[in-house]
Structure 1
Amino acid sequence: MKHTFQSMLKTGSSLRAVAVTGVSLIAFAAHPALAQGQPTQENLQENRAAPADSGLIIVTGSRIARPTVESTAPLQIIDDAVIDESGATNIQEVLLENPVFGTPALSRTNSAFLTSGTGVATVDLRNLGSDRTLVLINGRRVVSSLPGSATVDLNVIPTQFVERIDILTGGASSLYGSDAVAGVVNFVYKQNFNGIEANGQYGLTEEGDDIRYQANLTAGTDVADGNGNIMVHFGYSNEKGLYSRQRKNTRVDDYDKFAFTGDPADFGTSIAPFFSSFPPQGRFITSGGTFTYDANNNLQAGFSTNGPDVDGDGFGDGGPLANGFNRQQFRTLAVPVERYTFAAAGDYGLTDTINVFFEGTFNKTSSSRIIEPFPLESGGPNGVFPSGGGYNIENFVTRATAAGGQERVIAANPFVPDAILNAATDSNGDGLRDIGFARRLSDFGPRSGTTERDFYRFVVGFDGTIADERFRWDASYNYGQVNENQISSGQVNVVNFRDALAVQQDFDDVNGNGSTEDLICVNAEARANGCVPANIFGAGSLSPEAVAYIQAQGTFQTGIKQHVAQANLSGSLLELPAGPLGVAVGAEYRKEEAFEDSDALTNAGLNAGNKIPDTRGSFDVIEGFAEVSVPILADTPFFELLEVGGAVRVAKYSTVGTTFSYNGTVAWQPIEDVRVRGTYARSVRAPNVAELFSGLSQTFPSGITDPCVGVGLTGGGALGDNCRAAPGVLDNIRNNGGSFTINQADLQGISGFNGGNPDLNEEKADSYTAGVVINPRSITALRNLTLTADYYNIKIEDVIAAFPRQFTLSQCYEQGNDTFCDLITRRPTGTAVNSAGSIDLINALSVNAAILKTEGVDVTANWTTGLGFIGDDRLALRVAYNHVIKNDYTPLAGEDVDPSAGEIGDAKDSFTANVTYSNDDVRIGFTGTWIGKSYEDDQFCAAYDLDPKCISVPAQFYLDMQTTFLVDDHFEFYVGADNLLDNNAPNLLSGTSFNVTGSDTAADVYDIFGRRFYAGARVRF
């Protein structure tokens, strides 16, 4: 399902308690708070008037400590009651129900096939990218869990330790620094907790899988006669995971299946299942035909990938030629995640005006994945023999002669069946017959990976008051560190495989075992290194010894560190006729560093995968900010309040130099019941370590179309001239009947490198918001109703991104842009006739060029009322609705816009609504989440000359519920159900834009689990 800073300055327990109450309760009335149990207006007024030591508090969206508590920025608040009622194991589940959040970059349901980030949980405000959403804990930065990025893993958040979540939407860099382009998500921990709170919960799906359970304990107490407080939290959770074979709409067996074969006619058509053409028994290609093995391991001519997998063994069962491989039988649909969390917080009043505080969090997250056994082929860019020519089934071998000498002869690999040997020819001119092969390495078992991620974070600091408590100050040091270790199995050492495929009879007993009949590797050096002959013909033919010699374990380690030192001062500078002039100033130093280390085979691209380099880098920044809030009018007709404000931040980076961000705000309250607000903000995002320092990582893009195909010796306009300027293209035209011609192998052989760019500059964003808050206090029946409506408009320029490769080709050959032509390398003259001039490399390096723009409207409603039926019973309603007007991406200014509003994962309309009934004995709540009708990517449809809305997904509605039984003041137990209506995720064709591999749907958008239940208990003392 799709789906700020508000901290309390502290001197003593009484001030903190009142500040928390004042901010929380009044924020619920003033802003679109997704909170349970909204306070009555009488309580609001009482809290507004309550004195509290200095009387100054911090308002979310501002760093100024002041007695007023209204915010000019759009703000939503989720409190701990909402978290409890969700039954969520991970806080990401709660956030994604809110329509201000887009499709997460990483979650349990979309990370199984990634080389890193498995099991990470992220959030993405406005679908502008996770790196543009700043995540804070208690108003301070959190170290990233993805090396080189600013993306925070929500697994590190102790769910039951959270008091509330503040969601500030819109640019906020002037207040919080880089990365707050789309907004801020601030997790506020509980404070001044006294007592013990424990809970345990167990859940599972209706199918009895994806078992989830958790246990949490929070304890706190005052110390030193109430002059301090210390609190600790221990948490454990385990989500067992889900496999594709465990759901009918994702496994492939004896029923029809939606799939996309590359033919637009397949859209919306139910077709028979087809499987991978890499079968465990091997597929062997010769000039005389294709061969494979049947279910009884008998060699046969011909091959087919159609037919259902009735018995679930991974093989097609539709006849003797149906030998494709059913990958769905082995894929992970939702990765398992296990978490251990420890958090602590405390403070102590050194004097009446100085306080010391600390926070600490440790989290260990473990995740794993299983996917189908490795597919390997003889040729191709990631094959055993990437230069082509296939697998030599004959080898030049040395053997003894009868006269005692030695001769070099041609000998056939003894493993090769006669039928294949007789059908093969010499395809590369080396005098030896060869074949091509494709084989699923089921002998290795499924590919698997385990990830261990350790998170450390601690904060120490001081705060207090000066100038007769008119000003608050704080100074702190924040250190964060994340270490990740990943181990994967099922990969291949390509060099060892090449040696193991070159096999001969041991004519001269070179291995000294007394036999001249056994088989050995041809290469003597390989034999000395333990080479074992590899038989790839037939299922299960690879010996355990050969597997041990060929297989390669992959490793991946990362390390991330963050240092932040900051100091802030805020308060009332002087008293104006309309109220106090509020000011805040502060300074911050931050250093970020990260590294990624892969194993040597991965670095060299010798594990049948892409070449990936190690990366490391760091940067630091010194920042200063100032904020002012000026009341203009108050308590006058049509001007209950008129206030303007602004902030500016200057930052000096060791990488991009000096950056500026600023904002302006206005709030007008014509009458007590209506408040109009507006903001403008210039925000920035400095490039992160990966964008700056990533080395060149190899990739083999698919779906590339060469614009030069068909170009002749003359004509074609600018396109023809630009294509013929490449000598290889001209040579190809002359040798192919006057037209540039390539084959499918040339397209599949296109490679390229992705990489960072140390010359990047910062992104710049302009955001506008305008809204109204209505609280009809004068109408008794509606005095507890709060309505908000906010318009937002965010435009980001100089977006850091690589140009799409097809766009690069278009710019070079159709537009004649030399900058893009420099990213393309074509094969030279002298290569094979059809390969001369074909594309060899298209590189994609990060640049500041693209434009992102989003625009929309948020509407929220909160209402509570007493019913008077049973004791102190109440009814509470909360709704949050989002309408996306546009969400556009432009790769380069002046070029065509790629709109995504209304596409899958970015529905134009979505909402979440909750209704809760409660009395002294029970609380019953229902939450509904609605995702509007959505469409396939229009660019994908255009590539096949189809209507821009060639695939659509109907609107989806999910209903959750929970019932809590309040036994007494200390004990309650609850039961709940998610996806109560048991909605199936909509089918999306495999091979289309939003299909998450292995899920046959957009698993990061729609619910893939089905109806599920949970039960738990809470104890409080």
Structure 2
Amino acid sequence: MFKNNKLARSVQLACAIGVTSVSLFSSALANAQDAAVEKEEAVEKIQVTGSRIRSASLESPSPLQTFDASDIDAAGVANIQELLLQNPAFGSPGISRTNSNFSTSSAGVATVDLRNLGASRTLVLVNGRRYVSGVPGSSSVDLNTIPAQFIERVEILTGGASSVYGSDAVAGVVNFVLKDDFEGVEVDLKYGESAESDATERTFNITSGIGADKGNMMFHLSYSDEGAVFSRDRDRSAVDQLSNVYFTNEPEDIFNPVRPFFSSFPPQGRFDLGGTRYTFDSDNNLKDSFSTNGDADNAADGFNRSAFRTIAIPTERYLFAALGDYELSDNHSVFFEGTYASTKTQTKLEPFPFASDDIYADGLVPYEFNVTNTATGEEAFLRNPFVPDSIAGLGTDGNGDGLRDYFFAKRLAGIAARGNVAERDTYRFTVGMEGLIFDDWFYETYYIYGQTNESQVSSGQVNVQNFRYALEAVSDDLDLDADGITDEAVCIDATARSFGCVPINVWGNGSITPEAAAYVNAPGLLNTSLTQEVIGANISGDLFELPAGYVGIAAGFEYREETSRDEFDALQQAGLNAGNAIPATSGEFDVTEYYVEANVPIVEGLSARGAYRASDYSTVGSTTSYNYGLEWEVTDWLRLRAIEAQSTRAPNISELFAPPSQTFPSGLTDPCTRELTDACLAAPGVQDNVNANGGTFTLNQSDIQGISGFNLGNPNVKEEKGKSTTIGMIITPDNSGIKVLEDMSFTIDYFDIEIEDAIVSTPRQFILDQCYGGGDSSFCNFVTRRATDAGNNSAGSIEFIDSGVTNSGGFNTEGVDITSQYSTEIMNGTFRSKLAYTYLIDGETIPLPNAAADPFGGEVGASEHKWSLYLGYTYEDISVNVNTTYIGEAAIDDQFLAGFGFEPESVTIGKEVYVDLQVSYFATDNFEFYGGVDNALDNDPPAILSGIAGSDTGTETDAGTYDPIGRQYYVGVRATF
């Protein structure tokens, strides 16, 4: 009976699921359905996404949306993330190549986030099975490692699905179904670039397949190279700027920039000595003034960081994939899948900002020393020769050690460019066996091994200890190094000299010699490794027959082990390279799970479904997930469904085991600048600041930009639980007998997801508002303010805000999805359309139990209205495709607005519409030439300026939500043999 097992698997993987997933313009699906009609017996029981029970129905019990291979070809994407983000069910990705240039790790990774609930709550599958993560310590899959042109279709299952697929499926599942029935060879070549002649893209793909009576094999090889886009090459981001709201406190000025708003860390340096601030002009002449941004009387002395920053990270990928199956007998077959991905990304940003308070606690560098030549006993009072003679005598002893000193801040342009080069390798293979036990009872067993390794080298940082040795230099009047030369500069520390210490000159442009740069330079290293092993087995069949039909059941188990380790070099871990202090993180867990699922027909057309999963984690112990629901086929053209689910997400390795890791958050507002509450005045340094500034609490540029903090894991955190309700209908009027409605379908689904005991890091703005707004003074324990003026920073300014992981949060989201598909013959051609629309009724986070909800629905990245409309028309050898993406009006984050005393939703940005076009010409049956334009209207992204919540540094917008690149063109050729 299972003689055509290969065909059964082909249909299982190639048929679209449910009416929402039936792609009306997929030739592969049409062929598979025709085959199913011809050999009904072979495919009478198949498995669909959303259920592990095999049935004769092609309909999913849960809401499902799909992209198929033709949609991927029509979009012309190199990375499947680009296409998925057009679907309104997805929120802004946590990581993409346009919003991660400043990431210390995982820059350029491509993740997805269903319902704006976070990538950790979206489960990514390949052929219905788990895929290894691409981000250390998390479950987030890097879509760079999944070859777009080897995908048969993508199934987006929304709503809780942990009872069917396990942990992490709180918001839903994204299942990538790979091609498995292709025979021959297909070659695809493409080249593209933006209208600004950057963002170049080169891709090459080759897919081949061979089939035989007992099995088949497919291979896929692809290469892609996506080029950089720099901030300096877009007018909106070419010059450093800051939202004017910081200076006027007027809502309308949120979108008005103060430009330039340069950094006060210039390459020539600025110096405080003897009560005067000095710098150098463009001709390297010393001057006794410093103007960061310039004014009517002074040129700008500050530094334009935007001249170095990157909007889009260059990404190079090599991908290899293979799969196949072989029939051992009429009823049993073996299968395998293999994937290897090699990805290289490179971030680039401005040289490192460095100041003497990165070395000395008080920020004061001595430049005079009592020195003794230990070999001769000769003593002298010597000076650092790099301090200009004209001002050397003006210095004072600022810290009581008897030595004159100075403060400096300098952009380390003479050390090395800052950024990192990361090379990631992902391996994954699956082997398994499937078949028929007896009658209609099917089984599947499988083993999966996946591993992701990353090797990263970063540049532009320095060894702080070496820098201190190099700064403490004097004129070698005493011949300390015994080389017979007494008119050179030498390091005064003898041990440092023995290890090659080279004096460093920080005074002026181009002052650091290559030798000094080599001595203090400290390239950073990062190595990460993640592994995943999964063993699983499933069995499904008909348990017994009721008057309305057979009771279908599926059961199985899965055992999974995951490990993760990420380790920076010793200097980075200790914070001795002047950057973030990031200790190593490592951990592991295992989980054993058992599940059972049943479909019970009640009366004809009405059935009840339920599933239950029990899990035992080595970290959090036992957890459970379940779902239950009803399906009712009211008529041939109307089907109703409702499903209630509880999904579980266990904490990931990073949430459990991460030690304190330093970060530099942005988009924060200090409540004390708006209202000096008692809590503000009681904080260290605030009263001194007020006294020094005429009764107002005043922050400078460094204060606004210089807030740091530490993120902490929590080994005691427990699992979170998400409850989801979905109610929907599927309308297929083509079955109603009305001819004009043939080949049309609609779905309408209401969703409501509530997550309790959510695993969160308490938002830093919430911490500030609670501490200084009178909500809860205990939050002040997470805030550290500067007690006195320190270098660049004012007394009372915030130095650190720490945040740890707890089960204290909650998420709620509610909305409606509408999808529609239609195809028809028009003027001897074929017209196709597909619409996906999401109306977000509500979305909110709850920072703490019983705390006021913080809405995110309707804010930037989570617009109330989003839709995507695809239109295609094929006439003879010409095909035209148009895809329109609509992102509705959105408000600036309400917590950010509250920091200025503004009402929620009082400041909004307008809607955005993106139109992508593609035209294909089929020269022969074997050759297709195509070309397209993305963002054909060349829309600039909305202005979300530096300093505003939601702005991605260097882009002046939310680069995960909006297109920061502009119009892009591409051409390509596709050939089959």
Common topology (TM > 0.5): yes
Q: Which TM class, normalised by the smaller chain length?
A: over 0.9
What are structure 1's unaligned runs of at least 5 residues? Answer: 1-8, 309-317, 635-640
- Contact persistence 1:11–1:463 (CA under 8 A): no
Q: Does 1:654 align with 2:630?
A: no
- Contact persistence 2:671–2:769 (CA under 8 A): no
Give the match for residue 433 of structure 2: 462
Tell me how far apart the structure 1 counterparts of residues 627 and 215 of structure 2 sit (CA, whole Å): 37
| Between 176-185 and 928-937, the greater mean CA deviation after superposition | 928-937
Percent identity of equivalent pairs: 45
Give the match for residue 548 of structure 2: 578
Give the match for residue 3 of structure 1: none
Q: Secondary structure at the match of 2:117?
A: coil
Relative distance call for 1:1018 and 1:433 in structure 2 (3 A) is: same
Q: Does 1:68 align with 2:57?
A: yes
Q: Does 1:239 align with 2:263?
A: no
Tell me how far apart the structure 2 counterparts of residues 281 and 367 of structure 1 sit (CA, whole Å): 31
Deviation at 1:398, TM superposition (A): 2.4
Q: Does 1:472 align with 2:442?
A: yes
Deviation at 1:510, TM superposition (A): 2.4
Tell me how far apart the structure 1 counterparts of residues 692 and 953 of structure 2 sit (CA, whole Å): 39
2:742 to 783, 789, 797: 783
Cα RMSD, aligned residues only: 3.3
Give the match for residue 521 of structure 1: 491
Instruction: State the TM-score, normalizing by the size of structure 2.
Output: 0.93
Give the match for residue 304 of structure 1: 291
Q: Secondary structure at the match of 1:959?
A: strand
Give the match for residue 359 of structure 2: 384
Tell me how far apart the structure 1 counterparts of residues 27 and 6 of structure 2 sit (CA, whole Å): 24
- Contact persistence 2:21–2:155 (CA under 8 A): no
Tell me how far apart the structure 2 counterparts of residues 47 and 498 of structure 1 sit (CA, whole Å): 75
- AA partner of residue 719 (structure 2): E
Q: Secondary structure at the match of 1:53?
A: helix
Tell me how far apart the structure 2 counterparts of residues 647 and 188 of structure 1 sit (CA, whole Å): 23
Give the match for residue 856 of structure 1: 815
Deviation at 1:421, TM superposition (A): 2.6
Q: Does 1:1020 align with 2:969?
A: no
- Contact persistence 2:434–2:443 (CA under 8 A): yes
Deviation digits for residues 24-58 of structure 1, max 9, x if unmatched?
A: 2xx36x11556635899999799578513261001
Give the match for residue 299 of structure 2: 321
Deviation at 1:473, TM superposition (A): 0.4
Give the match for residue 378 of structure 2: 406
1:666 to 612, 626, 630: 630
Give the match for residue 78 of structure 1: 67
Relative distance call for 1:590 and 1:68 in structure 2 (3 A) is: same
2:470 to 478, 496, 500: 500
2:8 to 7, 15, 18: 15
Q: Does 1:550 align with 2:550?
A: no
- Contact persistence 1:201–1:1015 (CA under 8 A): yes
2:336 to 333, 358, 366: 358
Tell me how far apart the structure 1 counterparts of residues 703 and 347 of structure 2 sit (CA, whole Å): 33
Tell me how far apart the structure 2 counterparts of residues 278 and 415 of structure 1 sit (CA, whole Å): 19
What are structure 2's unaligned runs of at least 5 residues? Answer: none
Pairs aligned (count): 967
Deviation at 1:664, TM superposition (A): 0.7
Deviation at 1:967, TM superposition (A): 2.0
Tell me how far apart the structure 1 counterparts of residues 685 and 356 of structure 2 sit (CA, whole Å): 28
Q: Secondary structure at the match of 1:500?
A: helix
Deviation digits for residues 180-215 of structure 1, max 9, x if unmatched?
A: 000000000111321111111111112221110111
1:773 to 730, 737, 740: 730
Deviation digits for residues 963-982 of structure 1, max 9, x if unmatched?
A: 11112222211111111111
Give the match for residue 115 of structure 2: 126
Deviation digits for residues 310-339 of structure 1, max 9, x if unmatched?
A: xxxxxxxx9753121111111111001111
Q: Does 1:610 align with 2:580?
A: yes
Tell me how far apart the structure 1 counterparts of residues 416 and 721 of structure 2 sit (CA, whole Å): 49
- AA partner of residue 785 (structure 1): M
- AA partner of residue 74 (structure 1): P
Deviation at 1:1017, TM superposition (A): 1.2
Deviation digits for residues 894-943 of structure 1, max 9, x if unmatched?
A: 11211111111111101110111113311111110111111211111111
| Between 188-197 and 154-163, the greater mean CA deviation after superposition | 188-197
Deviation at 1:610, TM superposition (A): 2.1
Q: Does 1:1002 align with 2:958?
A: yes
- Contact persistence 1:393–1:432 (CA under 8 A): yes
- AA partner of residue 784 (structure 1): D
2:249 to 264, 268, 271: 264
Tell me how far apart the structure 2 counterparts of residues 731 and 207 of structure 1 sit (CA, whole Å): 51
Q: Secondary structure at the match of 1:85?
A: helix
Tell me how far apart the structure 2 counterparts of residues 838 and 245 of structure 1 sit (CA, whole Å): 31
Q: Does 1:680 align with 2:655?
A: no
State how 1:250-261 maps to structure 2 within 5 Å: 250-252=237-239, 261=246
Q: Secondary structure at the match of 2:897?
A: helix
- AA partner of residue 358 (structure 1): F
Give the match for residue 204 of structure 1: 193
Q: Does 1:446 align with 2:405?
A: no
- AA partner of residue 729 (structure 2): V
Deviation at 1:249, TM superposition (A): 2.2
Tell me how far apart the structure 2 counterparts of residues 494 and 1007 of structure 1 sit (CA, whole Å): 39
Relative distance call for 1:746 and 1:457 in structure 2 (3 A) is: closer
Instruction: State the TM-score, normalizing by the size of structure 1.
Output: 0.89
Relative distance call for 1:1013 and 1:840 in structure 2 (3 A) is: closer
- Contact persistence 2:271–2:407 (CA under 8 A): yes
2:841 to 867, 873, 885: 885
- Contact persistence 1:11–1:354 (CA under 8 A): no
Tell me how far apart the structure 2 counterparts of residues 691 and 607 of structure 1 sit (CA, whole Å): 26
Deviation at 1:418, TM superposition (A): 3.3
Tell me how far apart the structure 1 counterparts of residues 495 and 341 of structure 2 sit (CA, whole Å): 47
2:125 to 116, 129, 136: 136
- Contact persistence 2:217–2:325 (CA under 8 A): yes
Q: Secondary structure at the match of 2:168?
A: coil
Deviation at 1:949, TM superposition (A): 3.3
Relative distance call for 1:344 and 1:259 in structure 2 (3 A) is: farther
Q: Secondary structure at the match of 1:280?
A: coil
Relative distance call for 1:42 and 1:12 in structure 2 (3 A) is: closer
Tell me how far apart the structure 1 counterparts of residues 699 and 834 of structure 2 sit (CA, whole Å): 59
- Contact persistence 1:34–1:879 (CA under 8 A): no
Give the match for residue 315 of structure 1: none
| Between 471-480 and 207-216, the greater mean CA deviation after superposition | 207-216
Q: Secondary structure at the match of 2:335?
A: strand
Deviation digits for residues 785-830 of structure 1, max 9, x if unmatched?
A: 111111100011111112234544665687796975665678999x
Give the match for residue 394 of structure 1: 368
Tell me how far apart the structure 1 counterparts of residues 306 and 807 of structure 2 sit (CA, whole Å): 40
State how 1:125-164 maps to structure 2 within 5 Å: 125-164=114-153
| Between 961-970 and 697-706, the greater mean CA deviation after superposition | 697-706
- AA partner of residue 235 (structure 2): K
| Between 356-365 and 689-698, the greater mean CA deviation after superposition | 689-698
Tell me how far apart the structure 2 counterparts of residues 609 and 43 of structure 1 sit (CA, whole Å): 56
2:320 to 309, 317, 342: 342
State how 1:19-38 maps to structure 2 within 5 Å: 19-20=12-13, 23-24=15-16, 27=17, 30-31=19-20, 36-37=25-26
Q: Secondary structure at the match of 1:964?
A: strand
- Contact persistence 1:732–1:741 (CA under 8 A): no
- Contact persistence 1:215–1:236 (CA under 8 A): yes
Relative distance call for 1:81 and 1:307 in structure 2 (3 A) is: farther
- AA partner of residue 547 (structure 2): P
Q: Secondary structure at the match of 1:213?
A: strand
Tell me how far apart the structure 2 counterparts of residues 729 and 437 of structure 1 sit (CA, whole Å): 23
Tell me how far apart the structure 1 counterparts of residues 572 and 3 of structure 2 sit (CA, whole Å): 51
Q: Does 1:229 align with 2:216?
A: yes
Give the match for residue 870 of structure 2: 914
| Between 912-921 and 168-177, the greater mean CA deviation after superposition | 912-921
1:284 to 271, 274, 292: 271
